[in-house]
Every structure is written in structure tokens, then in C-alpha cells.
Chain A
Amino acid sequence: MTNSIEIKNLNYRKNMKPILSNVNLTIASGKIVGLLGENGAGKTTLMRLIAGVAKGYQGQISVVDESKIAAKKAIVSFSEQLSGFNQNMKIERIVRFYEDVYPDFSEDKYNQMAGFLQINEDQKLSQLSKGMREKLIIGLALSRRAKVYLLDEPFGGIDSMSRKKIINSIIRWKPDNATILVSDHYVSEIASVLDEIVIIKDKTVFAQKSTEEIREKFGEGIEEYYEKVYEGTELHD
């Protein structure tokens, strides 16, 4: 099986503080991987480094064997927060922007997803509730035919129905060979769809386990294992 993400000896500092230290991580293609860690652990930073928008790091980051920034951006779809758009902008204009600048953006896929997630393109960005905005972010990110999807905390502060819809979207529209890295600090919401988890703790990859292994070897649920790791009562590799 080929690797979609390979990180070697990654160190990243900002404002004179280490954010990530000596990170080594390999993620195989086709998996849905949970990137877990408490707030401020460095999950978003790691995703931004993979996506190519965080700079000044030491080490190697390659995505499907690509290490050049522009090439990585072409194969990585990152769920960005749409803050670059005017809040009075209509959704249809944002979708048009995506169509224009991402050659792999699929209008068909987007239309299917917009229907499923009940996204109204006539609405302005400012009119969207938090849940609806998150649905739009996920819809736009998954509408690209990318090889790697980075979904950064897609369930933050949204209701259970929206969460279910987003999780169903991830399962339904994930291309077979694509890898999805989804970050969260609430494990229970995504545990059911994960093939593997990566726990960020103490500024590094503290543990990387397949969910199957956690259930069989440790006899625990993902959430239980994650909590024990964070409490320091679970040994890792």
C-alpha cells in the first residue's frame, strides 16, 4: 500500500515557542484517520503544515510523494474556514470561485452534496448558522477530487443532526483511494468512521494505532483509549 502522507523529523516553532517537535508520521492511502488531541495540541498546525500554508518548519513533509508546495496544494483539499470571502458574498459566488481556481472541483459532486446537506446557494455567508457554514465548508472541501482531505474540526459547536449529516457525507463522498485526516478533540463523534487514530500530545505524535488494534488488543473503545493516553495511564509504542 502506498503512503499518502509522510512526515520526517518535523520541527515547527512560532513566536519563539516550539509548537511541534520531532514529528514522524506515515499515513497509508485510502484510510480515514482521526487526528486527536486537546485544544492547542497542534492538530490544526500539523494540518496547515501538510496543506502548505504554514511556513518556516524544519524536516520533510511529502504528500503522495510530492514535496513542492504548489504540487501538494493540488492534491490536498483542506477545509478552510472561508474567512477570505466577504460576509455579504452569496454562496453561489464562493462556489464559482472554487470552480475557477480548483481544476479538480467537481460541480456534479458539489450539487449532490449541496442537495444532501441542504445548502441554499442564494444565501449570503453571513446568513449561515454555524452548522450550515460547517456543512458548506465540508461540501466544498469534499467536492474536490483530491488525494488527501484535511478536515479540521468539522463538528465544532454544531448540533447532532448536522454532525450526522457531515459524517455521512464523509463516508458517502470519500473517493476509494483518497485519504481523509479529520481532526477533533471529541472522539465519540467520529470514532465509528475511523480506520486509524493519531494522537498529538506533548508537541509530537504520541500514538498512532489502527482502530481495529485498539478494540482487539486493548479491548477498549477509541474514546476510552484516547482518554487513557491523555491521562497517562495507557502506554503507547
Chain B
Amino acid sequence: MTSFGALTNALTRRKIQVINHLLVLDIIAILLTILYAVYQGDLSAADPLIYTMSYSLVVFFVAFILIARHNERIFVNDSYRLVPTSDTGLYSANLLSAFISMIYLGVTQIIFSMIAAAMNFQQVMTTLGQAFEHSSPTPGSMNSRSEIIGALIGLVILMIVSTIFAWASISLIHLTTSALTAFLPDSRSRLYRFILYVVVIAAILYILGKIVNPIGDIFYGMVNDNSYYQIYLSSLALLVVAGLESAVNVYLLRNWVETTNW
């Protein structure tokens, strides 16, 4: 049997490759934008950080889509489904490798942002302090560096958990559609598949809506409405729902979802 670590490594390697290609494009875009601003003669001290963070959003979005696509291919491809491991192991290794690749992307983006921020560090911290002032546990006193960092970490965690939740939801839609396809008359028309996807997406969004809100309510009642700890609790609620989705995904993989590449 394949060890979980070996499988995770193998799956992560390919995803890191995808991220590396994106990072090269990211660096080129940032440098070209800075050079253009220098050429125009209007490069301010804060601009490199603004450019870096702006491109970060694009890079995260594109990476999210590419990794999601890669995740889904693994579930329906013989090259991966034949690996001697349980469906739970494959699903977990796939999700973990996607997570690691996004952490890798996140770390590189933090490094890029730190390099850009180093040019104007004091102003950056002041701006961040002002931004979080209204979400402090005691409004008006959000000036300590630890609180700013706490809120920032919370946002990063929320972003990561949201990404995992979104991947689990995409998998749920994909695997449900794949499983249903086997029970319906054979049709390879795009319109047929499109309609099926629309119906499945609508049904899953409806069900998720019914599940997410009650779980969120359980956690939200625990702290002050204005506290930035809400960010952590939102992450926890999303993680619970992602766990439920994953359980359904593994069930579908184990019993109904076949590979489609033969």
C-alpha cells in the first residue's frame, strides 16, 4: 500500500510546479509595473507594496482555479485512482497537497510583500493599525502590534479555510455530477452536461445555505460582535462544513465515481 506521505509528496510536487510557473509570471508583472511607474516618473514609496498585493489577489485567484482543476482531474483519472490507497487517503492527500501548495504560494506572497513593504515599513504599520481599529475587542485601543498581527493571522487563516471550503464544495459538485451521470442515459452533449451541472450546483448551494448558517450561529454567539475573533470563528464554522462535504465526497469516490479517461 502507498504511504500517505509518499502520495502527498507526489501530488504536491505537480501542484508546486503549477505555482512556480505562476510566480514567475507574478514577478515579471510586478517588475514591469514598477519599471513603467519609474518611466512615468510617478513611483511613490508605497507603490511597490500596492502593486505586489494587487497582483497577489490575481495570482491567488488563478492558483485557486488551477489547483481546483488539478484536484478534480485526480479524482477521475486512472493515473491517480489506481494508486493502492484508500479513497479517504487519496482524497485527503489531494486536499492536503492543494493546501500545501497554497501555503507555499502564501509564503512567497508574504515574502514578496515584505520586500516591497521594507521600503516604507512605518507607514505600512500605521495604515494597518487604522484599518483594524474598529474591529478591536475594545474599540479605540487597537494600536498594539500584537492585535494587528492577530487580526492579520486571522484573515490569513480565514482565507486558507475559505479556499479549502471552496475546493471541497467544487469537489462535491463535480463528484455528485459524475455519480449521477452514470445513472442517466448516455449523452455527451454539452448542453446536457451543462443543465446537469446547473441543477447540481443549485441543489448543493441550497443545501449548503441550510447547513452553513446554523453552524455559523453556534460559533458566532461565543464572542462579542465587534471582536476580530469573529474571523477565527468564521474559519472554524467553514472548516466544519468543509469536513462534512469531504465525508460526502469520500463516500461518492468510494462507491460511485469512476474514472473517465479511458
- A residues sitting closer than 8 Å to B (CB atoms) are 14-17, 44, 48, 51-56, 69-71, 73-74, 78, 80-86, 97, 100-103
Give the docked Cα–Cα distance between A143 and B184 (Å).
39
Q: Please, which residue of chain A has its CB at the minimum distance from the CB of B78? A: A80
Give the docked Cα–Cα distance between A218 and B77 (Å).
43
Inter-chain contact A53/B81, CB cutoff 8 Å: yes
Inter-chain contact B84/A102, CB cutoff 8 Å: yes
Inter-chain contact A84/B83, CB cutoff 8 Å: no
Inter-chain contact B10/A97, CB cutoff 8 Å: yes
Q: Which one of B14, B73, B77, B258 lies within 8 Å of A55 (CB-CB)?
A: B258
Q: Which one of B1, B9, B78, B184 lies within 8 Å of A53 (CB-CB)?
A: B78
Inter-chain contact B256/A55, CB cutoff 8 Å: yes
- B residues sitting closer than 8 Å to A (CB atoms) are 1-3, 6-7, 9-10, 14, 73-74, 77-87, 89, 181-186, 254-259, 261-262
Inter-chain contact B261/A81, CB cutoff 8 Å: yes
Among A15, A78, A101, chain B packs the most CB atoms within 10 A around the CB of A101
Given contact pairs A16-B186, A81-B262, A101-B6, enumerate 8 new A-B contacts (beta carbons under 8 Å): A15-B186, A16-B185, A48-B258, A53-B258, A73-B85, A80-B79, A81-B261, A103-B3
Q: Please, which residue of chain A has its CB at the minimum distance from the CB of B184? A: A15
**What is the minimal beta-carbon distance from A6 to any residue of chain B, in angstroms?**
19
Q: What are 17 inter-chain pairs, A to B, with CB distance below 8 A?
A: A15-B181, A15-B182, A53-B259, A55-B255, A56-B182, A69-B86, A71-B1, A80-B79, A80-B262, A83-B79, A83-B261, A84-B74, A84-B80, A100-B7, A102-B83, A103-B1, A103-B2
Give the docked Cα–Cα distance between A17 and B182 (Å).
10
Q: Which residues of B contact A56 (CB under 8 A)?
A: 182, 255-256, 258
Q: Which residues of A contact B9 (CB under 8 A)?
A: 100
Inter-chain contact B79/A82, CB cutoff 8 Å: yes
Q: Which one of B3, B7, B84 lies within 8 Å of A73 (CB-CB)?
A: B84
**What is the minimal beta-carbon distance from B205 to any residue of chain A, in angstroms?**
26
Q: Which residues of B contact A52 (CB under 8 A)?
A: 82
Q: Which residues of B contact A83 (CB under 8 A)?
A: 77-79, 261-262
**What is the minimal beta-carbon distance from B19 to any residue of chain A, in angstroms?**
14
**What is the minimal beta-carbon distance from B30 to any residue of chain A, in angstroms?**
26
Give the docked Cα–Cα distance between A85 and B261 (Å).
11
Give the docked Cα–Cα distance between A157 and B1 (Å).
34
Q: Which one of A16, A51, A85, A101 lies within 8 Å of B183 (CB-CB)?
A: A16
Give the docked Cα–Cα distance between A24 and B74 (Å).
32
Q: Which residues of B contact A54 (CB under 8 A)?
A: 258
Give the docked Cα–Cα distance between A78 and B79 (Å).
10
Give the docked Cα–Cα distance between A74 and B87 (Å).
13
Give the docked Cα–Cα distance between A4 and B74 (Å).
29
Q: Which residues of B contact A17 (CB under 8 A)?
A: 186
The 9 closest A-B pairs by CB, nearest first: A84-B79, A84-B77, A74-B84, A15-B186, A80-B78, A73-B84, A83-B261, A100-B10, A70-B86
**What is the minimal beta-carbon distance from B91 to any residue of chain A, in angstroms?**
13
Inter-chain contact A81/B78, CB cutoff 8 Å: yes
